[in-house]
Structures are given as C-alpha cells and as structure tokens.
A and B are shown apart, each in its own frame.
Chain A
C-alpha cells in the first residue's frame, strides 16, 4: 500500500461539498482507474482545508500543489497533465493576490504561513472516515498513555497546559475536570458541546467533519480522568455531515476496541452516544444544553449548582466544547509544557477562527494566541474585499463586540479582547468595511438574540425586544437623541439582571458599537443620515448634472416621482419617492446618487 507515488486530497467539508467536491472525487477516481494508476495514486476525501473562499480545493502530495476552485470538468486535465506528465495545471493554481503569479507550493501561501494547526492538525490531512489514518497520526496514542496514569495525574497535566475552554467562556479546562472528578457519584457524564449556534462560526463543525476521532479520543480521556463511563455529544441536527462522520468514527472506535468495555485490555470502560439539538441558540449554554439532552425545553437554570456537581439527570457532568476537546490529545502526545509554550501568558495554545465577511480569504484558520488582528485580517485573510476601507471586525458573535482600526495591533487572547469591549467567543470573526452601517449591524444581532431568547427571564425576553424596537426606530430614521440614552441604560440593566450568558451578553453588540461608533448613531438620530449609506429609509436619491435627459429613469419609476423634459436634467420628487432604487440601476450615465 505504500507504493502510492501520489496522494490527491480533495476537501470534503460542507462548503466544498456544496460546490461539487463529491463529483470531483468520483471523477478523479475514475480517471485514475482509466489509466491504470489506481495502485500508484490514492484519492482521499478529507476534512476542511480552511481555504473556503476558493473551494473546492484539491491538493496533490508530496509536491504540495494546491488547486483552487476546481470543477468536475477540470478532473481530466489534472489527471492527464499533472498525474501522467508531471506538469502542473497552471490555470488552477492559487494566485498570489498581489503579484498575480501562480503559487505552486501551498507552503508559500500567506494564508498558511502564519497559521499553526493544533486543533485542526488532521483537518484536510486525513480521511476522516478511516480510523487507521488517524491511528497513523498517533491517534489514540494519547488515550493509551493516559490509561497508564492516575486520574489526578491526567487532570494535573491538563491544568499544567493552561488550556482554557474554547466555547467562549475561557474557563480553565483542567479545573473543570477536577471539580467533576471530586464529586463522588455512581454515574458521571462527559458531554461534548457541538451545538455551534453562533451565526458565522463553523469551526466545531469543521473539526467534527475533518477529524472526528480526536473528539472521540478526548472524550474518552476526559471520562477516564473524571471517572465517567458515558459520553454524550450534543450536536445540531442542521449538521448532517458532521453527524455522519461522528457516527462513523464512534462505530470504528468500538470495532477497534477503543470504545466500549475494557478499553485496550484495561479496567476502563467508556462509550459515546449522540444527542440531537433542534435549533436553539441558548442550548449552547451548558445548563440549557443539559435540559435539552433530557428531552426538555432548553432553558437555562441558575448556577450553582454547576453541572460538575449536578448535571445530566442530576449527576456530575463535565461539558466541554468541540475545539477544547480537539486540543486534549495533542497535550498528552507532546506534553503540557510544549502546549503551554504556545500563546500568551494567560491564554495558552492556539485558537481557531472562522474568518468571514468582507474579506478576501474567507475560511477557517488557526493561529497561536497572541497573534494580532492585523496579521489575521491582512496577512492570512488577504485584506478587505474589493480594496475597500476596513471598518471593524466583530468577534464573539451575538455576545461580542466590534474592534476597529486602533485595535488591529492588539494580540488576540481571552483577556485582551474582553478589555477591548469584545470577547473571544467561539471564534467567529466577521470583517466589515466602510459600507456596513453599525446601528444596522447591532440591529441584526439583536434580531438574532430577541428571536433566540428562550423567554424564561424577563430582562432577556422583554429587554432584547425593546432594544430591537429602538434600533429599528433608529435605522428607519425615526430615532431621537434620547433613544441613545435609553439604549445604553436598558443595555446595562439587561447585562446586570439576565439569568444566563445569552441574556447577560445580548446587549454587547449595542454597547460596543455605541461606544466605538457613537458618531454614526448620532448621525442617524440627529441628522437622520446614514453615513454608510445602508439604511434605505435615511437615503435620498438625487439626480446630478451628469443627467442627459434620456427619460429612462422617469419611465421606470413605479410611482412617477421623476419629472423633467427630454434632454434636460431631471428631478426626483422626494415626497413621492419610495426609494426602490429602480432609477439608479436603470441610469446609464451614473447620474443618480444616493445620499
């Protein structure tokens, strides 16, 4: 089997699959069989490469050729040229955005240069549906090592690594394990929180799709450490591919004796079950998640008691997020010391971010803690799309805040982001440019939290609704300066009084944008203008002197608001205009402007 001269890796993540990477895999396999090289060239469907912007990705090894935006019809050329004749298909190579020259070796891509892949170490490298490839990468070696240690030794190692929860809270993982370990009970549980509900974040899904065994292994390690024999993965039903890969991994681990009774001949037994979420953002909160797993409405309850004391069916339960678990096997393979050397003083290791929005390289990246936003946005992300001006980056999803130009050189870690009025969150990073209106962005997040509020506590249920109404008033041009004071006051009240993390942080997008972009809010409520020219209610169309009087606009206007004589500059009657924009798109002389 090692006679393979070449491996062709095709991304099989959700993004690439939806642009036909499945067909590409089939096509490659067939084309390679047709030339009788199936014993020399191996085609592997892997997890996400992270470079989603240019998917589907096809990578050829050992020469590290990186083909982007491959279509099924390109398969034949790749095989006949690259595989048979050793000539790279130039037109499919990734092009350096600055020099416009094709880059043949992915090692030379800026996108990968600054990254450090720990949690994503196997994503885009192994076939996630083949346990042996995981084992070949030292898979389950960490579990084997752990089984020779005492429970407390395992916990100490995790504590020493400095790993903090990657789901958003940043609580020290080792300490959490210790609490669960010290609570004595006949049954304990390990829960993996894979209810990734933060819109625009897809790191957990990519790990489950690309390297499910790392989660299985880490959960078993955690089970051993805290004394649990049962693991549960709570996963969104909206992630069918991740569910399938995880089911496949669990079945394979059972078959190989890595899950089940007496793992590797020891006294330790552990097994994992999957539980489906049903679409409720609040279920990312651990007490709500536990209620949901019990078949109830996913409403949070006050802590204490913490799940470590009374969780699933009132038994001690340890809940960790997917990315947190993905770091565990590495800590045992390379040692806590190795891990704790990466990152900043209080935030160790790396962090995976889902980079999205107005950025050139949308994708999944992993960088050491302490990397600056500038490096992430400009070096890895390739800068702002279409050469526009950077305005803000939103981190932490609906619970987070916005960071601007002046924060670009801040090293990213848990504490720095908090100090800057945002938060790490699960790792969504949405880049915005000059065209994004901040009050409208705040409104977008509030729409989300108001809709996702479970309704249990009043500050969140009613408060988010009121915040949303005020924001709607502001973006529709009916806002007054007094509304800004109300926004601030109400936001603080919600922050102080809501029951769970969702409510307590729901007003963050408002507070953060209000603080950083106060001018923009003032422009909306005092001058009734939208500086980003996004809020259509605040815009007025005007015909400039560029108008040649072709009458195209007056004919297309549905309400007859445009008047003027042929070959003379036309005018818009603002009182009649419904701001549909039809005239603007019809005008061939760019004579109609939005102001």
Chain B
C-alpha cells in the first residue's frame, strides 16, 4: 500500500504515527528530561587503562570538593552482587561457560578502558566532574589482552583468573561426522576467512538513569533508558540489590533508540538506585557520548573461517565454520547466546544444505563487553554464508543469483527442519529473489556498468539473501538451551466503562511506533476508532509484566499477547450481549464493533456492552463477572522467519578507493504487514546500519587496549550524504503459528545489507583479481587491495 493511503486505521493501513506530535514539538519525555526534586548528580570515574590492578584509591580531596555529597568506590560494593548474565551456555562435553563476577564498581582490578572505578555524587554535574578529577587512583598496569587468537594461547595475566586461556566456552552445533563426509565427496570446496567488525550501537540518546528512594514507603523508583523495564526490575531487584518487585518501580519513558544496547542491565542503574537510599536524595546520571563509547555494550566482533562443499552441479553438500567470538571483559546480559543460539542456528540460511557443523569459541578480552546489536548473531551468520556463496559462484564462474536459487529451500519443503536445530515454518525465497531482480533492473545492469566505465569508475553489483529468526521462543526450549528467563510477552486490554480502551503492553516502544501499530490492531479487531485506543508501556507500575522489545519480536509476540486479550474481551462481551439480547451465546456475531443476534437486526454496540460490564444491571452476574479487563501471557510456539533478498550496485573510484552506493533494492517477506509506512521505515533504518557496517563503522582498539574510535571524530556514523534512497518491496507468506501471521521487520536491513554491499564491491574489484575485502571497506582498504592485487600480478 502506498504510504499516502490513510483511508482506514485498520490492519494494512499506512496510518501516520500518533507519537509524532510530541516528538516534533519537543514534548517527548526522555530520561534526561526528567528532574526529581532535590536531585543530585552522579559522575563516574572510569579506568584509563585496559588492564590494571588498583593498588590504592584516595578520595579524600574529592570528598572535600565543593558540592560533593558522597563518593563511593568498589569497596562500598564488595558485598553487593555483580551484574547477572541471563544465559548459561554449555560447551562441548556439557562444560558450563566461565562466568566471572561483573562488579558494579571495579573490585581491585580494571578490565577495560571505561571500567567504572568510583562514583561521585554532588549538587551539580560540573561539581561532580570537578571532584572526580581529584580522586587519586594508583594503578599497576598489566599487559592488555586484545587479540582473540593471542588471548587463547594464554600467558600473562588472563582477563579473569578463572579462565587461564581467556576461553569463556567452546561450543559446537551440527553433525561433524556427516559434514566431514560431505566435504570428502565434494567436487568443489570454497574457503573464506573473514572478520565481522566490532560496532558501537550508538542510539542517538545516550543512556541515563535516575534513582529515587521514598523513605516513607520503602519504595525505590528507577527511571532508565531501557528497552525492557520489567527485565531491569527483575535483574537489578532480584539479582543485584535484593529489592523485591513490589518495592521497585522501573520506568522507561521515551527512549531515544536502542538497537539492543538498551536491553542490558548496566552498572549505572544499580549505582543510582542504591546510592539514592545512601544519600537520601534522588541521584541522576546521564552518559556523555564519549562515555557511551566505552560503557555501552558493543556488537559483532567475530573472526571466522568458513568452508562450503558443493557437488559437480553446484548443489551445496555441507558447510563448516570455526568462529572466535569476542565477549569483551565481562559477560553482558545476553552475550553468550548471541554467537551461539542466535548465530549457529542460522547457518542454514535460506538453503537446503544437508550437513552443517559449527564451532564457536567465546573469548574474554580487555575490551568493552559485547552483546546483541541490531540483528545479533544473525548478521554474522548471514555475512559468512552470503560471502561464501558469492565466492563459490565466482570460483565456479556461475551467476550468484542462480547458484542461490538452485540451493534455496523450496516453498513445498516447509515446514523445513534445518541441520542446525531450527524448523522454518514458511517462506518463498524464489519469490523474493524474483522480486529483487526486477526491482533492481537486473536487465539494465550491463548498460550501467558501461556508463560507469566511461567515467573511469568501477561498477559492481552484489546480491545476498538472508533469513532471520525473530521472536525467540518457546520458553521451554530456550530454557533447556540455557536461557535464565522466559520469552513470552504480556498484555492487558482494559475496556473502560464508556467504551474506550487502554492496552498495557510489555513491548516497549523506542522508535518502532508501537503506539500506532498496536492501536491499529485493536481498532481493527474491536471495530472502534483508533482515537478510542491508548497504548501504555514502559512503567512497571502500570504494565502487569513484560519481557520487552528486541529481536524484532514486538508484533509477533507482544502483538499476539494483545490479540489474545482482545479475543478474551470479545468472548466475554458475547456472553454479556447474549444476556442483554436474550439470545444464545452461540448466536451472537461480532462484526464492525457490533454484537448481533445472527439473522436478526437485534444488536448492541461495543460501547453498550462496555457500559453494561461496569454498570451491571440486568447482567448475568451468576455466570459473568462485572468489568471488562483481560490479561494474556503469550509464549510463542516457534520463532518467526522473515527472509528476503537484496541487491546493491556500487561505483568505485579506482584512484581513491571511494565507494558510492548507487542503488539499493530490498525485497522482504515479513508475513502480514499492519502498517506498511512503519515497516518501510524500519527497513530503511536497518539498511543504513548495515551499509554503515560494510563501509564506514568500526570500533578499533590498539594493542594496548586503548579505544581508537572513542567519539564521532573517529567512529564514522552514516550521514544522509553517505547513502542513497532505497527501493523497497514486500511479498507475503503469512507466519503459520501466530494469529496475525506476522514475522518481524526490525533487523532485516542490518542483517542483509553488509554481504550485499561487500559482494558488490568484490564484484567491482574482480577485474583486479580481488576475492574478498573486510569490513568496513574504507577507501584506504580498497585502494590497498587494488595496489596489492596489481603488485601480485607483476
């Protein structure tokens, strides 16, 4: 549907967002916009070293500094638990991962640049900062462990004493013997070494947290920049500070983007909550951007060797992979599941490869912890599959699109059991391929290539497919794989006496437009105008429970929880209507907001039923309770499997190595779509994060563990001028196991774009004999690849 079609507010309409008015007029309320009466300000002193022992901390001068209320160090947190990890991975031989304590403030040792050492609380932020500079910390520096391969050799002081060779776990998935057998009979084997570059998520709103403690009620309140306030309440309350849920309220107000980085429970949240009680006043902390670079969880950072076995006809026989995954200095909340259950399980991609084996070694290093970032494991899997297939196509001198088509899982093969644990419910990969070839004008490519050549530019065209697994589930299964949480979602639908509706959802919205999309679902199902529907999220005192927003799960899981509650509302309303209309319940039909006795013109509107539920006169009180308020917890039966195919064309200036993305076409299958305008916006955003990874972004540490990309002066964020406008299209195979038939769209672009761009660049450089280039493909790297290839030929 064209974005301008706003004729209706139901499912499928491109309804303009209800949240926009407040954001466009500066009336959003982000955490840093909140100020509590009598509030103090916290500033953290962070380690300048990657690895060092703390010999002594002298905070006397800081405590005496003007405006200082308190100074706390690791000593004050010794008796307090560390930050918990939410996933226990077992490696080979059922060996559990090494799980060292992640202290709130460094406990005798710092393990990455930015590791918090002390906190100063003062009347103003400037006073806190002035005082933090006066804390004298004596460090004894230790050699930094930065490179993963070197780290695994051991030697020196490991990051954690419990892991002598810095190995967190050594995990495998798939049938190794069957895979090796496939390679033994292969007609052709393609091999590739690649790096999935470390990224910094960089939501535009820096993290912030305000802790508040009410001595009268004993209740704590934490305002925080979170994608999942209930998860923070559980992790911080139960595992760190020992505050029971009924005495802890967590509020995540408007949140300025997350991309995964605001899922996790961070030290600063615990610090402000704990300190609020200590100092008897609210404590506010707001991250600076430079602080964010060294304290927000990073993403990706894999080093991989991967091989593909093909028969003489180009059919895939097997794939095997060896990956080193960087965990950083501590285990962030969901870190261990990213390179394992969100990565290894996706290695079949869109293909009917019969045998797959992967081995992942997770490594501790003296760097910022690594966790999920938009895509989380799936971009890494997709990058290695799609780069490998492209290399195979080039080696076999075959069309990369047709090699993919030949090996796709075909529509009649669903449900499809992959050799790496997942069962795909539905898809049509040929359809997205056909759609993207048309969208990207495959037929006109030769002409465009010639035109580029005439300008002295190298043109390349790249294609990549992707599949992702969204709405991680069911809880029983993930529990058996090590998850320490359930992965359901909760929703309450509250119908008020005059027929308006408030939905309380655990799916937090921080850019995704839930306040609009969810309201469309309600409007559609209840047949009432959207204006009568309010979506409430982000406050544990209002929403019954919630697991939050990540992994493109909101509509498939959170939306389904709403649908389940709406179904209960409708079912109860039918009972009430039957009584009021003096008909059998089975004869009541509900359509367009009206309950009608089948075959008659006797009906009651939704509003009349709502009023009756709250003013229960002439009401079936013996069988039906008054009120109209229903809660559901929905635990999905399976993941959903969005998939798609992307094409990118680039032009390279061979003299400078500068790449210009000339066009980018995306054909996605997200199942049914509720708001196409919002879905396309999600695709655009994901694509630019993916193009950013491919061309611009990388987090660099030097050999001493110093962060070289600690601000926007060095970490290249994509800007408007770096990317083109996009061509986006959808096809639909409806998800088979949720009532809306939806799959999720948030991460697709970030998953599919990197291999598409790199495949296009390698295509452009193929005339020099270049077969691979690592991300980000910066001008310097491309220029060097051309020089090296030229030199190799002479």
Whether both chains belong to one complex is answered with no
Q: Which residues of A contact B (CB under 8 A)?
A: none
Residues of B within 8 A of A (CB): none
